Structure 1
Amino acid sequence: MNGHLSIEHCAETLWLLADRAIYWPAQRALLVADVHIGKAASYRALHQPVPKGTTAATLQRLDSLLATHDCEQLIILGDFLHARAARTPATMALLQAWRNRHPCLHVRLIRGNHDRHAGDPPGELNIEVHDEPWLLGPFALQHEPTPHPERPVLAGHVHPVFTLRGRARQRLRLRCFVMQSQVSLLPAFGEFTGGWDMERAPGRRIFPTGADQVWTVAE
């Protein structure tokens, strides 16, 4: 289906969005993972030649998703800020302008490993911060993809990707959702992120995203 794929997972309807997020209609919630705001700025602080504009592009994609879907809350499954070096005046100004565009949106962050090093977002951004796991509905929402003793997990951290292989050694590497009974993974939302290759396995549903579509890969 163009734009999103609706699936049933743990008796909940979830929309897997081509733009690497999950919309959960019952909670009016948009879920993203591994946003890594300011990663490029952090690299430039180390004198690495990386592109500019990735933070603005990431926030514009968030704007588009929030405008398209009926969202009461945005839930970030860890790694919102990339590092302390990401807190440049320009990056913080972009973030504040984004927050000002969504004053009524309830934003929650489940701390990830980068958040622990970068520190919590500035109070002016009005982001509610939680340690993992944070329980909502049937799920344990986490950054780390570790099983919860009682609930299925939705997590990030891994930056999952899947490689489609064609004829003549053609390959296409796409970010993907990975849905499993115990621990499911969201793709990295941020513009400037790498990926970890996922393979087919029994009980593992893989959904690559790209070109405004979400596909299903047979187990």
Structure 2
Amino acid sequence: MLRITLAGEDALLHPSGALLLPAHGTLLVADAHFGKAVSYRKLGVPVPEATTTATLHALTKAIAESGAHQVVFLGDFLHSARSHARETLQALADWRDLHGHVGLTLVRGNHDQRAGDPPASLGIEVVDEPHRLGRFALCHHPEPVAGAYVLAGHWHPCISVRGRAFDHLRLPCFWFGSEAASARAVGVLPAFGSFTGMHPIERTEGDRVYAVAEGVVRALPALASA
């Protein structure tokens, strides 16, 4: 994990795309989109199998490696109403049975509005944005909140990295706006789900960007001043 400072506090960036706030023992996870694959299969679209299982395995690993006792999902926990399929809910229930010691909170996102809240049996506290945690406002939509540094999801950010052979890769990334300007005091986490798309970011001077590749989080050089 890569240690950085946000709003005067330590934060650890996990290569899964999760972010740990050690002072709060809290792991932030954006855009899990559980049940997305089954939603597409119900529409007749051929998509990968076992994506919910893969995402849950990644979550288990992130919790174990971070030592977090609380997980906050920054929106889009379930992908759609079709995600309430028996096999998806059973996988979530089995995972929850093994992790009953971990507190779970969901900050509702746009997909949650359509999918509905997760079953009460999962023991997930469901709240609307912004959800305050110390100096932070935990949200789904990356929009400023007065008096807080926002940590959000929704955009599934990625960045293009060019190689020496004129090739380039699109890598998921953490994207943190400048804390000096309240309108840009927003950080966006990469999508955590194993079956999600990515959208390129347009960073500006003062932004900090950290790309994720092959199990490592690396800081990218800052943009040069104009």
TM-score, normalising length: structure 2? 0.94
Question: For 1:85, what is the secondary structure of its paired residue?
Answer: helix
- The equivalent of 1:183 in structure 2 is 186
Given residue 161 of structure 1, which amino acid in structure 2 is its aligned partner? C
Q: Work out which of the residue numbers 139, 144, 148 in structure 2 matches 1:142.
A: 139
Q: Secondary structure at the match of 1:184?
A: strand
Partners of 1:200 and 1:158 lie apart in 2 by: 13
Q: Show the counterpart of 2:182.
A: none
SS at 1:215 equivalent: strand
Cα deviation, residue 197, structure 1? 0.4
Q: Which residue of 2 aligns with 1:50?
A: 47
Determine the C-alpha separation between the residues in 2 that align with 1:139 and 1:123: 27
Q: State the 1:167 CA deviation.
A: 2.5
Q: What residue ranges of structure 2 are gaps of 5+ in the alignment?
A: 180-184
Gaps of 5+ in 1: none
Residue 205 (structure 1) aligns with = 208
- Please state how far the C-alpha of 1:217 moved relative to its aligned partner: 0.9
> In the aligned structure 1, how far is the partner of 2:49 from the partner of 2:204?
38
Matched, 1:195 2:192: no
Tell me, what secondary structure is at the counterpart of 1:169? coil
Find the aligned partners of 2:33 and 2:176 in 1 and give their Cα distance: 22
User: What is the alpha-carbon distance in structure 1 between the residues aligned to residue 73 and residue 66 of structure 2?
Assistant: 16
Q: How many residues align?
A: 216
Identity among equivalent pairs (%): 45
Point out which structure has higher relative CO (alpha carbons under 8 A, 6+ apart): 1
Residue deviations 1:35-72 (CA, integer Å, cap 9, x gap): 00000000000000101010000001111111222211
1:62 counterpart residue number: 59
Aligned structure 1 segments of 4 or more residues deviating by more than 6 angstroms: none
CA deviation vs aligned residue, 1:85-126 (integer Å, no higher than 9, x gap): 011100000000000011121100000000000000001000
Aligned to 1:22: 19
- Give runs of aligned pairs for residues 1-219 of structure 1, distance below 5 A: 4-180=1-177, 181=179, 182-219=185-222
Distance in 1, matches of 2:115 and 2:159, equals: 29
Which SS does the other structure have where 2:219 is aligned? Answer: coil
> What amino acid does structure 2 have at the position aligned with 1:43?
Y
Counterpart of 1:107, as a letter, is L
When normalised by structure 1's length, the TM-score is: 0.97
Q: Distance in 2 between matches of 1:168 and 1:154?
A: 36
**Aligned equivalents of 2:135 and 2:208: distance in 1?**
19
